[in-house]
């Protein structure tokens, strides 16, 4: 049902779980292929309830209609690839309450884009007028950008996190300015993931599996974890839930969260950590045949992930009766104090888990369409999923049942308008 061959297609090749052709629980049975880019498409940003922007190695930003797949706008100007993209709201000090557009350029030129990362960090208004920009940061370039309070942004540049503060015009200073406030140097390798967790903290993850939680206001380290892929074997005789061992399988590419769980993409696997039970409640150690690049929470306890192998998969977190006490894993998320410190300390937690429920990640959908690595995706409640790939394509995945209903409704409306449909009571 979903075995479309677009630009070569993809077939499962490794040890990852597979699913049959009849995916009865997968609603995304229709797709639209969007073509505008001429190189790898790496980034997607949701602008509102029906628009999104895409960017990648061709240096252009394209704005799309998520409902129809129509290309609304193309912004060009970069001579090198775009390495990050995000949005930034207007400041309270600004007279016009409009959204600002930040961009970063590797070519150090004026760029008409929404948000991108390179060697410079630029601030633009809605008219795409350059307000201010930083100087050349490094040859590494900005790999990720997030907004934090007090008109600040955090930029991941190689091993460093750089805090910038955006200064709005005042009576004494009529020009916009962007200032470097602080550099956070706690990571030992390049930073791959950077996200806000809540109103109190943000999290960064590195290529060698370092995970650091930062205070969002004073930028101090709240907790950190190193070498979480190598839990201590002497703490208990029961088998620990081990994440990964190979160097290529320990990178934290992405993570997300909800009120109950933290979802981590580590190597080729997916891990669900329950904050109340203080343990990993579900995992798929080989969720994909290659590294998982992006993960997000969907409604109805569902999770979506994409990988370097070109696959996009939908998972459902299901509860199952726990027959025996589950060990509390050490390492990974131990920085919150949730892991077991010693065997004696773990006994109360074990007793609490004896009658508890654990969960499993069940594969319910495999979206076959891309022929190369899928970097990320967006979820629109009313318009479906959007994925981008190294095959230069963007695919808009639609709920087949919903789209069929909308087409039928439009047909009946058209027939009624033309007088070809007579309704009787």
Residue 392: its pLDDT value, please? Answer: 96
Residue 196: its pLDDT value, please? Answer: 84
Rounded Cα gap, residues 113 and 133, in angstroms: 14
Higher pLDDT, 122 or 356: 122
Residue 59: its pLDDT value, please? Answer: 84
- Give the pairing type, strands 394-399 and 384-389: antiparallel
Nearest to 378 by CA among 319, 297, 266, 323: 297
Least confident of 57-71, 148-162, 263-277: 263-277
pLDDT in tens, 56-88: 888 888 999 999 999 998 887 667 787 777 676
Contacts 24+ apart (CB under 8 A), 195-204: 195/146, 195/254, 195/255, 195/256, 196/146, 196/147, 196/148, 197/257, 202/146, 202/148, 202/154, 203/255, 204/156, 204/161
Q: Mean pLDDT across the stretch 268-286? A: 78
Return mean pLDDT, the chain. 75
pLDDT in tens, 285-330: 889 999 999 999 999 899 999 999 999 999 999 987 655 544 545 4
Q: What percent of the chain has pLDDT over 70?
A: 68
3-state secondary structure of 247: helix
Calculate ∠ Cα 271-274-280, nearest 5°.
45
The DSSP H or E segment spanning 54 is: strand 51-56
Q: Mean pLDDT across the stretch 161-165? A: 91
Rounded Cα gap, residues 162 and 167, in angstroms: 16
Rounded Cα gap, residues 61 and 75, in angstroms: 5
Given a cut of 50, whether residue 355 has pLDDT beyond it is no
State if pTM tops 0.75.
no
Where does 295-377 have alpha helices with state H?
343-353
Nearest to 336 by CA among 266, 265, 238, 257: 257
């Amino acid at each position: 049902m979903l075995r479309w061959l677009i630009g070569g297609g993809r077939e499962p090749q490794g040890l990852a779980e597979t699913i049959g052709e009849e995916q009865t629980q997968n609603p995304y049975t229709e797709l639209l292929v969007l073509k505008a880019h001429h190189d790898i498409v790496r980034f997607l940003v949701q602008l509102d309830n029906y628009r999104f922007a895409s960017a990648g190695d061709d240096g252009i930003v394209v704005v799309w209609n998520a409902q129809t797949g129509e290309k609304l706008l193309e912004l060009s100007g970069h001579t090198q690839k775009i390495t990050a993209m995000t949005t930034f709201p207007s400041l309270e000090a600004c007279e016009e309450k409009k959204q600002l557009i930040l961009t970063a350029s590797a070519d150090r030129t004026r760029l008409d884009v929404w948000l991108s990362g390179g060697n410079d960090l630029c601030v633009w208004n809605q008219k795409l007028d350059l307000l201010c920009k930083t100087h050349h940061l490094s040859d590494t370039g900005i790999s990720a950008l997030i907004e934090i309070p007090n008109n600040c942004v955090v930029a991941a540049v190689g091993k460093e996190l750089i805090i910038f503060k955006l200064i709005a015009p005042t009576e004494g200073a009529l020009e916009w300015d962007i200032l470097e406030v602080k550099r956070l140097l706690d990571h030992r390798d390049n930073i791959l993931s950077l996200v806000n967790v809540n109103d109190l903290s943000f999290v960064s993850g590195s290529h060698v599996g370092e995970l650091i939680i930062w205070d969002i206001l004073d930028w101090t380290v709240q907790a950190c974890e190193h070498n979480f892929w190598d839990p201590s074997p002497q703490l208990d005789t029961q088998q620990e839930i081990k994440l990964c061992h190979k160097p290529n399988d320990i990178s934290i590419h992405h993570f997300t969260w909800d009120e109950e769980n933290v979802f981590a993409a580590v190597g080729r696997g997916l891990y669900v950590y329950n904050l109340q039970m203080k343990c990993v409640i579900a995992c798929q150690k080989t969720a994909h045949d290659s590294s998982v690049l992006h993960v997000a929470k969907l409604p109805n306890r569902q999770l979506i992930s994409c990988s370097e192998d070109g696959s996009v998969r939908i998972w459902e977190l299901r509860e199952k009766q726990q027959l025996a006490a589950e060990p509390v894993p050490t390492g990974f998320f131990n920085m919150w104090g949730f892991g077991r410190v010693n065997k004696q300390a773990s006994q109360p937690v074990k007793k609490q888990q004896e009658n508890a429920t654990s969960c499993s990640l069940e594969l319910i959908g495999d979206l076959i369409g891309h022929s190369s690595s899928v970097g990320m995706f967006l979820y629109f409640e009313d318009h479906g999923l959007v994925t981008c790939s190294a095959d230069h394509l963007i695919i808009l995945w639609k709920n087949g049942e919903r789209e069929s209903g909308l087409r039928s409704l439009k047909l009946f409306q058209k027939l009624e308008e033309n007088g070809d449909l007579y309704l009787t009571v």
